Homo-oligomer: A and B are copies of this chain.
Amino acid sequence: MKYIEKLRNSGLRPTKQRLQICEVLFNTERTFHFTINELEQKIKDKIDNKISLATIYNTVHAFEKKGYLKQIPVNSNQTYFDTNITDHHHFYNLKDGNLIDLENSDVGPINIKKKINGKKIKSIEVLVKLED
Contacts and interface: CB of A to CB of B under 8 A. Distances in A.
Interface stretch (A29-37, A42-50, A112-120): A112-120
A119 B102 contact: no
Nearest to A108: B111
Interface in A67-112: 71-75, 79, 91-94, 100, 102-103, 105-112
B119 A112 contact: no
Q: Is the interface of A mostly helix, strand, loop or mixed?
A: strand
A29 to B, nearest CB: 20
A122 interface: yes
Contacts of A110: 107-108, 110, 126
Contact of A75 (B71, B91, B106, B129): B71
Contact of A127 (B127, B130, B131, B132): B127
Interface of A: 71-75, 79, 91-94, 100, 102-103, 105-114, 116, 118-132
